[in-house]
Each structure stands twice: as C-alpha cells, then as structure tokens.
C-alpha cells in the first residue's frame, strides 16, 4: 500500500480541535468559507500554540495543491483520511478555473439555457481537470512516501494460531476501500459527467445530500452511480428500456385489444419509449434517488446502498410518470389521491414494481387500471354493479359445484373398481391354485396313460400258471410282439435267473423250471446268478445249491457254461455289520448245447463271455419292504433287514453294469466285424425271479443311455402270492421311476409304434384361453393377475402411491383454490376416500406364486375370520371364532409339536374312505382311531353313497362350494386322517373360499395337522383309487 505523508519533522500529536476543524474544511462548499474559518481560528488564538497546525492550514489553502494535502493527511492515530470525493474534485476544478466567482449560485456555471454554450463550458472545465490531474500525478510521484500499515490488534483469550508463513502473521488495520491514492478511470468519468451535464438544481441536491450523509462513501452518488451514462440529460435510454422490432410489432397489434380492455371512463394516454432524458427528467431522477436512499438510511443505516440496476427502473418510472402517468392521474384521481400517487412515485418506490412490470410489456397506451394498487382509487374500479357481482359469484360457484359433482361420480367408479380389484387379489391365490391343480391333474393323467402304454409294451407282466405252462406262455408272448422294423435285425433273448431272491431255490420250482428253459424257442443265453446265502429252510452251504443248479442245467442241455465274477462295494455311509453284505457276486452264462452246437452270437461277440469279469459295483443301501401298498415304495425307516434281503436287493446300478457288459462287443474281435447288438436289433430280457424291481430298473437305466429296442418281461406266477406282490410292487416302482424321470425330461417314453411322447408342462404362468376365461369370470381376478399396469390406467381421479390409493395431486391442487364451501365438501370427500379406500390394497400388491404377473399376498389368501359350524350333521350348536391358518410344516416340526400315535405313512389306506352323499355333502370316513388331519388342507377323493348312523364321530363332513364336484378329480395329492376323540365340524358352504375350506375345533383342542405322503403316481393300484 502506498500513501503520502507530509511534514516528516511534524510533531506527533494534534489537538482534537484541529481534527474537528479539518473535517469541517473538507466538507466546505467553497474556498471563501475555508478562509474565514482559518482566519477566525487564528484571531481567537486557538492555533497559536501549535505551529504545525498553522502550517497544515496554510498548505490546505495553497492552490492548486489544496486537494492533494486535503486528501492524504495523516493524524496522530495513523488512520488515513478518505480521498476527496467526486463532488469535491468538481468544486476544486471550479475554484481553479473561476476563482472567487464560485459561490452558492451555480445557475451561471451549469446553466442549460443554451445547450451549445453548456457543452463548450463543460469541455473547458474538463481541460482544467486534465491539467489538475497531471499535476496531481506528478505530486504523487515526487512526494509520495510509502507508509507501513499498522498491525491489527490481536484479541485476547483466543487459541494460538496455527503455524503459517511469517508474511501472514501481521495483517493491516481495516481502513475502508483506500488501496491506492491514484485517481481511477471510473472516478475521472464521474467528475467529467458532473462538469459536462449536471444541472444547477441537481448539483445543489447532490452537494446537500453528500453533506447530510457524511461524505461520498456513505452517500447515494458513488463513483459508479455518477459514471452511469444514462443518468445525465440528453442520454438515450438503455437497451432493455426500448422494445425491439418483434415487441414493437406485437404492441401495435395488441393495441386494439388493450383499448377494449380499458374501461370507458378511464383516461388513457399513449406511451413513448426511446426518448432522451431531459434536464427536468434528470432533476426528477436525482430527487427520486436522494429521497429513496435517505429513507433507506433511516431503517438500514450504513447498509443502505444503490446499485446501477436500480437506476434503470428509476429512469423508466420517472420518464413514464412525467410523460404519461401524471396526466392520467390528474384526470382520474381526486386531489388527495393524486398527491399520494405523486409522492409515492417521485419520492418513493412503492409503485415502482407495478409500474415497471406494466412498462416492460411495452403497451401502446396506459391507464391507471393497469396498476392494481391504483385501480381501487379510480372511479372505474368501483363501477362494477352489485348485480353483476352477484351473477359472477353465482356462476363461479355453479362451476365449482359442477366440477365437484363430476369428481364425486368418477370417484365412485374408482371405488367400484378398487373393490373389485381388492376382491380379485384375495381370491387370486385360490384361483391360481385351482388352475394349478387342474393342470397338474392333466399332467398326472397324461403321465399315467403314457407310462401305462410304455409299461405294457416295454415292461410287461407275463402271467404263468405253473412251470409246465411256461413254454406255451413264452410262445404266446413272442407271437404278440410286433415284428422288427428291419427284416435283417435279430431278437436277442436273455433269461435272467437270480437265485439270491428269497424262495427262488425251492427244489420243486427248480425241478420244473430247467426243463421249461430247455424247451423255449429262441433262447440265446441264460444269465444265472448263484446264491451267496443259505436257503431259508436249510442250513446247508450255498455252494451245494450252486453245484446242484449247474448239474441240473447241464442235464437239461445247457452244457456250455462260462463263469463270471463281480466284486461288490459296501456303501460308504453304512455302519452295520459288514458280514450282512455281499462282497462279490458269482454267476454263469449258459448256452444251449455243447461245443458241437451251432454258433451263438453271445459266445462269438460278448466281452463278458471272453473275460468272465465284471467291474466293481456299489451296493444300494436302501432296503425296501415288498408289499402291495404304494406307501411302502419308499425306504422304510427303522425296518430290520436281514442278510438275505440285502443279498437280494443289490440296486439297479449293479444290474445295469451286468447288462451292459453282457451286451458289450468283445475287444478281441476285428474292427471290421459286426457288433454284438446293432441298432436294428431288439433285446428281450425275461426276468424269472422278480423281487423289488432292481432287475427292471437296471434295464431301464441301460435303455435310457440309448441303443436298440429293449423289453423287460417280468414273470408273474399266479400260484405264488409272493410273486404276485413282488410283480405288482416292481411295476409300480418302475412306473414311478419312469414317470418322474420323464416329467423332468431326463428320458423318453415311447408308444407301441415307437413314437416318443413329450410331457405336458403345468406352468401356471402360461394361461390358455380357458384359464383366462375362468379368471375373468371371477370379479377382479384377471386384473390382479395381469397387475396394476392393466387397471391403474382405468382410474379416473385416483392414483397409486406405492400400495396407497390417493386422489390425484393435480385435482387436489385445483380444488385448493375453490370457494370455501366447495373446498369443505371436497375435503370431506377426500377424508372419506382415505379412511375407506386409502389402505385397501396394502399388503396385497405383492408377487403371485408361480411368478405370475400382478400381485397377491404372500400369506394365505383365505379369510382368517371364518366361523366353524356344528360338530354333527343336524346339530344346532355353533361356536364362532377366529381360525388360525398355519403354513406348511415339515414332518420334523410336526413331531416336535404334536404327539403322533400312528404314522400316516404306515397306516392302511383302506381304513379311510371318501363319500359324497346324494344331498351334495362330502365325508371322510375313518375307521382308525388316531389319525391326524391338517387345518386348511385341500380335500380330494372319489366316492359316492349315503351316510350311515354307524359312522358317528368317525366322519368328517365337508362341503363343495356351489355344488362343484370337480374336486373329486384331485385324488392323487395326499392322505388324511381324523382324530376321533374330538367333535368334528361341518364347514359352512357360504364361507368356503373356492376350492379350499377350513377345519377348526369347537373345543379348541383339535390340533388338525398333516403328515404328507410322497407316493408314486405311475401307475396306482385299484385300492389306491379310493383315497390317496
């Protein structure tokens, strides 16, 4: 910072009176006043004691350096006095040029009587200013001395500052905006504007305002304001104050319409934009600036200020007022109102915003009705007739009421749609379950039919009366088989004898069996498996049975025999006694005739015949009891298994390996030799000893890997009950295996003609026309299935916010400005909607099971407030109460919660019956005492007849909704039972949620639960058709 410092030998310290007189001299209007003050102070002897003060006053009064020493004098406290203002510079120029002629009357100096003479005088004064500025710059360069700024005082009690650069530790004392002493361009422009354009009256107002405010820095006429070129007389308007070509065209085109909008009694005057500022307008503008600024100083104090942007609106308002608005106000307002408007515009800014907003549209004519605050003061503002007001008010009210009636009608339609959709979401789960059940029934029926056809053709049962009739039955079987597709193909016969099967080594059966094999036509090979355990009725060594079998087979003509051995591996998870398992399987391949017999394709081409070795196979750890019940097709937990049973049930994988090795072409044959089994050939395996379908499963596993046509014929001896049970059990097990694999697309099933059949997909997410028609028949179900995108667009005055239903925001915003009476009715209607329908869909707009579109609650969709009926048919007792709907539970969870005395898996299903009476009521008849039925389970079964009195408490009455009997088709789902120690309930038909029902207890102690049975579906015995 660079400052000037005068009087290097000056004594530090000036009297308070000297400083006070110095300030008075700085604000003096002319030199004469300064000389008088100085002479008066000398005569009074106030300055005799201080020689330095006299020197300073002499320097202040010495021209032309008076303004320099005034501006940059330094007092005892090292605070710098502000530089000379623009008005003071102007005064110094006048004193320099005119001398003692300068007084309080500036009419001769700044006279605008002759504009040409005023402009020439201004140029002359500007030349004087240039000379003074040149001397000022020379003075600054010659005598200017740099003064170090004083350090700012540190406040005590503060935390020590952080480590910074040494140059930042000392800050100069605040001293206003006085960074340098040279005169800037903006200030020179402001001084020259004053010298060239100011009027005498405007200059007097500026000088008086500056003295009142205490200097230029606190006044409205700062350097930026005085440098604004549009403030002075003769200056054109700014760009934003004149219309462009488009606005000029628009204002002239709208002039006729604006003329019509103005009342007839209102005076209108044309508005002119683009006029230069006259001296009178300039003086009015200065008066407005001074008045507004001094008013702000009373409220804001030092914060009051004026920027250049405000000057635009001030000039626009002043010019419009003097040219047009004042004439309209005199014509339309009374004297008092006119004075109020005149004072508000000329000396205030209360109406500036309204007037500027009107002027910025550049109207062609102006009337006081364009100003809202002035409109009420005009006679035209009160010309509205009371009758006209009533008509307008009534019309507005009728319009709002009609809108409200239309909204209410549309809202009722939305309520109707929301009720329908809500009901649809509640029943959608039931409807989808019903459709899913029907689709699954179709899939199950199609699977049963396909598996039945496949089993009858590729895995048939051959009923044999006895061993003597076996050759004739075989001939009939071979005759019933269709001819081969290729005449060059051959049919390979494999007779499978497994003497590990219980009762397979009976002497009488073996005695008649071997001659039957010798007389069979087309026999190719006999696969004979020797026993590893002693017979059931004997303790002799199994080797003796093996020797006996080999000898009798040789006697029957099977002289060529090839022994083989297969090592077996015990399952890793088994911890039972190892002696209970077989570690190997011995057998022989037997061929008709001796070495002189004809060629045999197995002898020539089979790898097993060449090596006599089989790869190691793993035994199956799952032991199955052989019964006719489908419930026993799964592994029986806790069943005691003997060594003979383990020896008989080796698993399907073991027999798959045996069959594959038997049909494998010998590696010793030449590469060009034909294979043992060609694609055009057919393999027929005749299973003599059927036990648990391991043989048939092995054949199915081999067939699943591709190859020629393969048939596995299981012999069913009619006089042997165990053979009958084993064959029936094996057929069910093989059918369940094929059906399950086929539904999973893991294997193919074929018809009699060899055509493959594909399973039906039970995909509930894909609805056909019938399914869609069913959903449309239930109100709201189709909309719930397809989701909100189908019905949300049908809402007229409501909308969805998540799961909440509310009125449209635009509608609420519109009625917010309605009449109070109409708005009260609208608010009441909105409250009614929010109370009844706002949360109607909460908890329902969720995903549907099966990934279907739309939404349904994830919980049980059935109502939870159903009431139960009476216990016995005909009884009048009732016990209403809530029903607790529990979700699916596993068997382990059920066992933890309830005491199950009889396992559902182990009970005889023939002890449960399903009855549909003539009156449409359905019953479950339970002969057992301790069985369990689950709450909320679906009922399915077949049956018809009448109820008997003997049924008593063992019957559970059910009801089909609306007489729908189609539920009787769902007979394959689960097994139920009823605990007869409590009274059973009749379910009310009107409260049934189709196609499901509820079960509760009148005593509250009937814990209805279910242990689910996973039974095979393909095919089922006739006894299972009653209920399963």
Sequence-ordered list of residues with C-beta below 8 angstroms from that of 840, at least 6 positions apart, any chain: 418, 419, 422, 805
Torsion of CA 811, 817, 821, 824, to 10 degrees: 50
Sequence-ordered list of residues with C-beta below 8 angstroms from that of 142, at least 6 positions apart, any chain: none
Q: With residue 618 as reference, give the H or E element that holds it.
A: strand 617-618
- Beta-sheet pairing, 955-959 with 921-926: antiparallel
Low-confidence residues of the chain, pLDDT below 50? 1-43, 45-82, 145-148, 163-180, 379-384, 521-522, 628-637, 847-910, 929-942, 944, 949-950, 952-953, 958-1028
Q: Strands across the sheet with 921-926, in order?
A: 912-916, 921-926, 955-959
- Beta-sheet pairing, 461-464 with 709-717: parallel
Pairwise CA distance, residues 358 & 365, whole Å: 11
pLDDT for res 763 = 67
Sequence-ordered list of residues with C-beta below 8 angstroms from that of 16, at least 6 positions apart, any chain: none
Half-sphere exposure of 196 (CA within 13 A, CB side): 19
Residue closest to 646 by CA, chosen among 727, 739, 579: 579
pLDDT for res 828 = 92
| Packing angle of the helix pair 185-197, 115-143 (nearest 10 deg) | 150
Beta strands in 247-287 (DSSP E): 268-270
Q: How far is CA 895 from CA 38, 582, 900, 1010, in A?
A: 119, 36, 7, 11
Contact assessment for residue 26 and residue 217, using Cβ atoms and an 8 Å cutoff: no
pLDDT for res 923 = 59
Contact assessment for residue 646 and residue 623, using Cβ atoms and an 8 Å cutoff: yes
3-state secondary structure 527-572: EEECCCCCCCCCCCCHHHHHHHHHHHHHHCCCCEEEEEEEEEECCC
Cα angle vertex 89, ends 86, 91, to 5°?
A: 115
Q: How far is CA 481 from CA 437, 470, 681, in A?
A: 38, 17, 14
What radius of gyration do the chain's Cα atoms show? 58
Residue 680 bridge partners (DSSP): none
Q: In the chain, where are the structural domains located?
A: 3-149+178-204, 228-382, 386-459+762-861, 466-717, 866-1028
Pairwise CA distance, residues 344 & 291, whole Å: 11
> Positive or negative CA dihedral for 345, 346, 352, 356?
positive
Q: How far is CA 247 from CA 316, 464, 888, in A?
A: 17, 113, 78
Q: Does residue 832 sit in helix, strand or coil?
A: helix
Largest CA distance in the chain: 172
Pairwise CA distance, residues 307 & 1009, whole Å: 87
Options 3.40.50, 3.10.450, 3.30.70, 1.10.287; CATH for 466-717 is: 3.40.50
Query: How do residues 837-889 score in pLDDT, each as one tens digit?
Result: 888 887 776 543 333 333 333 333 323 332 333 333 333 333 333 322 233 33
Contact assessment for residue 232 and residue 282, using Cβ atoms and an 8 Å cutoff: yes
- What's the pTM value of the predicted model, to 2 decimals? 0.41
Contact assessment for residue 566 and residue 614, using Cβ atoms and an 8 Å cutoff: yes
pLDDT for res 827 = 92
Query: How do residues 470-493 score in pLDDT, each as one tens digit?
Result: 778 877 887 888 888 788 888 888
List the helix and strand counts (H, then E) for the chain: 33, 19
pLDDT for res 409 = 92
Pairwise CA distance, residues 529 & 538, whole Å: 19
Long-range Cβ contact pairs of 594-599 (< 8 A, separation 24 or more): 594/559, 594/560, 595/559, 595/560, 597/559, 597/560
pLDDT for res 998 = 32
Sequence-ordered list of residues with C-beta below 8 angstroms from that of 195, at least 6 positions apart, any chain: 90, 93, 122, 125, 126, 129
pLDDT for res 101 = 67
Pairwise CA distance, residues 548 & 26, whole Å: 149
Contact assessment for residue 115 and residue 94, using Cβ atoms and an 8 Å cutoff: no
Sequence-ordered list of residues with C-beta below 8 angstroms from that of 182, at least 6 positions apart, any chain: 137, 140
Q: How many CB atoms lie within 10 A of CB 611?
A: 15
pLDDT for res 405 = 92
């Amino acid at each position: 910072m660079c400052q000037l410092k005068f009087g290097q030998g000056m004594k530090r310290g000036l009297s308070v009176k000297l400083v006070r007189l110095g300030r008075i001299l700085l604000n003096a209007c002319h030199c004469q006043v300064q000389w008088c003050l100085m002479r008066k102070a000398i005569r009074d002897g106030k300055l005799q004691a201080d020689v330095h003060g006299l020197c300073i006053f002499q320097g202040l009064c010495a021209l032309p350096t008076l303004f320099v020493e005034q501006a940059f004098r330094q007092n005892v406290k090292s605070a710098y006095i502000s530089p000379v203002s623009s008005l003071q510079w102007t005064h110094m120029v006048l004193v320099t040029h005119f001398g003692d002629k300068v007084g309080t009357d500036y009419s001769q100096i700044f006279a605008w009587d002759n504009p040409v003479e005023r402009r020439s005088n201004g140029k002359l004064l500007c030349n004087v200013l240039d000379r003074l500025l040149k001397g000022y710059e020379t003075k600054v360069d010659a005598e200017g001395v740099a003064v170090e700024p004083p350090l700012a005082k540190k406040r005590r009690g503060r935390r020590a500052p952080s480590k910074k650069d040494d140059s930042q530790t000392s800050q100069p004392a605040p001293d206003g905006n006085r960074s340098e002493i040279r005169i800037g361009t903006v200030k020179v422009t402001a001084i020259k504007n004053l010298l060239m354009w100011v009027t005498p009256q405007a200059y007097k107002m500026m000088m008086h305002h500056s003295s009142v405010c205490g200097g230029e820095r606190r006044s409205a006429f700062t350097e930026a304001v005085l440098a604004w070129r549009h403030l002075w007389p003769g200056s054109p308007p700014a760009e934003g104050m004149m219309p462009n070509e488009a606005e000029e065209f628009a204002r002239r085109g709208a002039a006729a319409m604006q003329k019509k909008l103005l009342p007839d009694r209102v005076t209108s005057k044309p508005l002119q934009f683009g006029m230069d500022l006259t001296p009178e307008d300039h003086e009015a503008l200065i008066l407005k600036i001074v008045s507004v600024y001094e008013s702000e100083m009373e409220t804001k104090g030092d914060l009051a200020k004026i920027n250049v942007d405000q000057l635009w609106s001030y000039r626009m308002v002043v010019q419009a007022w003097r040219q047009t608005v004042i004439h309209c106000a005199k014509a339309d307002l009374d004297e008092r109102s006119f004075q109020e408007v005149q004072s508000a515009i000329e000396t205030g800014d209360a109406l500036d915003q309204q007037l500027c907003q009107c002027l910025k549209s550049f109207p062609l004519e102006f009337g006081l009705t364009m100003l809202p605050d002035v409109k009420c003061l005009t006679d035209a503002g009160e010309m509205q007739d009371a009758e006209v007001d009533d008509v307008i008010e009534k019309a507005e009210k009728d319009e709002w009421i009609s809108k409200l009636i239309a909204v209410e009608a549309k809202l009722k339609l939305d309520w109707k749609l929301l009720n329908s959709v809500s009901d649809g979401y509640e029943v959608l789960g039931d409807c989808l379950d019903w459709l899913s059940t029907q689709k699954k029934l179709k899939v199950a029926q199609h699977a049963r039919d396909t598996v039945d056809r496949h089993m009858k053709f590729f895995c048939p049962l051959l009923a044999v009366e006895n061993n003597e009739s076996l050759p004739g039955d075989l001939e009939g079987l071979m005759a019933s088989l269709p001819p081969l597709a290729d005449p060059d193909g051959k049919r390979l016969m494999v007779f499978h004898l497994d003497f590990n099967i219980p009762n397979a080594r009976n002497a009488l059966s073996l005695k008649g069996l071997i001659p039957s094999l010798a007389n069979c036509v087309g026999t190719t090979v006999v696969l004979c498996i020797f026993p590893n355990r002693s017979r059931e009725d004997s303790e002799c060594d199994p080797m003796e049975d093996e020797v006996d079998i080999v000898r009798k087979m040789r006697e029957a003509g099977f002289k060529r025999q090839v022994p083989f051995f297969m090592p077996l591996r015990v399952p890793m998870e088994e911890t039972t006694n190892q002696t209970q398992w077989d570690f190997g399987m011995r057998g022989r391949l037997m061929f008709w005739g001796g070495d002189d017999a004809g060629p045999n394709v197995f002898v020539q081409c089979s790898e097993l015949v060449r090596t006599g070795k089989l790869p190691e196979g793993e035994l199956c750890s799952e032991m199955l009891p052989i019964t006719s019940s489908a419930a026993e097709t799964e592994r029986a937990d806790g069943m005691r298994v003997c060594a003979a049973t383990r020896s008989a049930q080796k698993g399907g994988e073991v027999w798959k390996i045996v069959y594959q090795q038997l049909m494998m072409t010998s590696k010793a044959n030449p590469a060009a030799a034909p294979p043992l089994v060609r694609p055009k050939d057919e393999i027929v395996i005749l299973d003599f000893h059927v036990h648990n379908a391991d043989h048939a499963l092995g054949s199915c596993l081999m067939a699943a890997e591709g190859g020629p046509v393969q048939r596995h014929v299981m012999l069913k001896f009619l006089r042997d009950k165990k053979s009958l049970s084993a064959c029936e059990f094996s057929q069910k097990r093989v059918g369940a295996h094929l059906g399950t694999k086929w539904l999973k697309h893991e294997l193919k099933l074929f018809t009699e003609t060899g055509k493959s059949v594909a399973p039906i997909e039970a995909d509930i997410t894909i609805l056909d026309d019938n399914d869609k028609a069913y959903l449309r028949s239930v109100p709201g179900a189709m909309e719930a299935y397809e989701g909100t995108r189908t019905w949300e667009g049908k809402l007229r005055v409501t909308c969805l916010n998540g799961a909440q239903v509310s009125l449209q925001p635009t509608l609420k915003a519109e009625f917010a400005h309605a009449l109070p009476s109409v708005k009260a009715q609208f608010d009441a209607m909105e409250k009614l909607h929010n109370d009844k329908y706002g949360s109607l869909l909460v908890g329902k707009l969720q995903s549907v099971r099966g990934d279907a579109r739309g939404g349904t609650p994830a919980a049980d969709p059935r109502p939870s407030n159903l009431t139960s009926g009476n216990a016995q048919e005909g009884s009048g007792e009732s016990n209403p109460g809530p029903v607790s709907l529990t979700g699916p539970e596993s068997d382990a969870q059920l066992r933890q919660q309830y005491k199950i005395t009889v396992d559902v898996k182990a009970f005889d299903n023939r002890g449960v019956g399903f009855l549909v009476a003539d009156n449409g009521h359905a019953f479950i008849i339970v002969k057992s005492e301790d069985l369990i039925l689950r709450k909320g389970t679906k009922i399915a079964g077949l049956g018809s007849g009448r109820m008997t009195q003997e049924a008593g408490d063992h019957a559970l009455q059910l009801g089909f909704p609306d007489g729908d009997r189609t539920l009787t088709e769902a007979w394959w789902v689960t097994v139920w039972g009823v605990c007869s120690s409590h009274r059973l309930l009749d379910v009310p038909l009107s409260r049934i949620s189709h196609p499901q029902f509820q079960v509760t207890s009148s005593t509250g102690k009937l814990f209805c639960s279910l242990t689910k049975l996973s039974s095979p579906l393909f095919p089922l015995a006739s006894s299972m058709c009653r209920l399963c």
